[in-house]
A and B are shown apart, each in its own frame.
Chain A
């Protein structure tokens, strides 16, 4: 049999454990339930009138759902910080791109360059 460069299952477990507690299926189901409730809360902002609070509440709910999926399902909570930097760095760059485009469009419309 040729040498297998992959780690065996117990070794892979040990690699995960070196970053602390590795979640169990029960933990994953609990996170999924939280995410389901958060989605229901998002939907409630459409059904019920929250007035001026609706959009800020929605933004918070989106951010919480995002962090839950990234931290638990993508294992960023247990993995090296480098992966988190790629994830949140990419997100920050994307947001910067939006803000810059918005500024350019506002500037263009204000100066009649459209």
Chain B
């Protein structure tokens, strides 16, 4: 294999390698917040705890985010085939599902806030809002990147022969999804189940 302009000495694309280093470090970022949440699970200071969660609602929003990973991978596949019209369609579908997930999170935060789960009132509330809020910010950044990708392909700045651009954004998007797989299970379901037992 000849050394390309974007290859490292490992023979890997340096942009892809950089993205994986970044994603690896992001695990520590979210790992710290998940650890803090689990350690402060019982410190509700008399306020609401995990019983406040609406599991059916969160299951639906988790499902939406999970399916956005499917449309994202289909967008990448269409780009590798040079089918830019289909690629843009899947990118928009992914951004749309991300927006639905984010809307659900804003709605959920509103409900929790009105029911007395106030940021700063207890270590539990702060840990919950910080963790899920940071995840929401990641989703928001992902949506901006997807919309940027959409417009750059429309203006011809990203061409059919550059699927690596879609792959990079796809990796970030799948990472956001995979973190939610952990959050949905570890933050919502396991404590709720422990409470019921």
Contacting residues, chain A, for B161 (C-beta < 8 A): 4, 6-9, 12
A-B CB contacts (within 8 Å), total count: 158
Q: Interface size (A, Cβ < 8 Å)?
A: 54
Interface 0/1 of B20-32, CB less than 8 Å to A: 1101111110111
Q: Which of A60-114 contact B (CB under 8 A)?
A: 61-62, 65-66, 69-70, 72-74, 80, 82-83, 86-87, 89-91, 93-95, 97-98, 101-102, 105
Judging by beta carbons under 8 Å apart, are A82 and B10 in contact?
yes
A69 to B66, CA, bound (A): 9
Contacting residues, chain A, for B70 (C-beta < 8 A): 28-29, 31-32, 73
Name A's interface SS.
helix
Judging by beta carbons under 8 Å apart, are B81 and A9 in contact?
yes
Q: Which of B96-104, B112-120, B138-146, B179-187 contacts A (4 or more CB under 8 A)?
A: B179-187
Known A-B contacts A12-B80, A62-B186; the reply to A69 vs B178 at CB < 8 A is yes
Tell me, rounded to whole Å, the shortest Cβ–Cβ distance linking B130 to chain A.
Answer: 15
Tell me, rounded to whole Å, the shortest Cβ–Cβ distance linking B165 to chain A.
Answer: 8
Tell me, rounded to whole Å, the shortest Cβ–Cβ distance linking B149 to chain A.
Answer: 15
A86 to B17, CA, bound (A): 9
A87 to B67, CA, bound (A): 21
Contacting residues, chain B, for A80 (C-beta < 8 A): 12
Tell me, rounded to whole Å, the shortest Cβ–Cβ distance linking B36 to chain A.
Answer: 8
Q: Interface size (B, Cβ < 8 Å)?
A: 64
Query: Pick the contact of B35 from A5, A9, A52, A101 — CB < 8 Å?
Result: A101
A46 to B185, CA, bound (A): 11
Known A-B contacts A39-B59, A82-B10, A97-B31; the reply to A28 vs B73 at CB < 8 A is yes
Contacting residues, chain A, for B32 (C-beta < 8 A): 94, 97
Known A-B contacts A5-B5, A16-B80; the reply to A65 vs B20 at CB < 8 A is no
Contacting residues, chain B, for A69 (C-beta < 8 A): 66, 69, 174, 177-178, 181
Q: A12-B161, A94-B31 are in contact. List 16 more A-B contacts (CB 8 A).
A: A6-B162, A24-B77, A42-B185, A45-B193, A55-B190, A55-B193, A80-B12, A82-B10, A90-B24, A90-B31, A91-B27, A94-B30, A94-B32, A94-B35, A98-B31, A102-B39
Can you name 8 A-B pairs with beta carbons within 8 Å? A13-B80, A69-B178, A70-B178, A82-B10, A83-B16, A90-B26, A94-B28, A98-B38
Interface of A with B (CB < 8 Å)? Answer: 4-9, 12-13, 16, 24-25, 28-29, 31-32, 35-36, 39, 42-43, 45-46, 49, 51-52, 54-55, 58-59, 61-62, 65-66, 69-70, 72-74, 80, 82-83, 86-87, 89-91, 93-95, 97-98, 101-102, 105
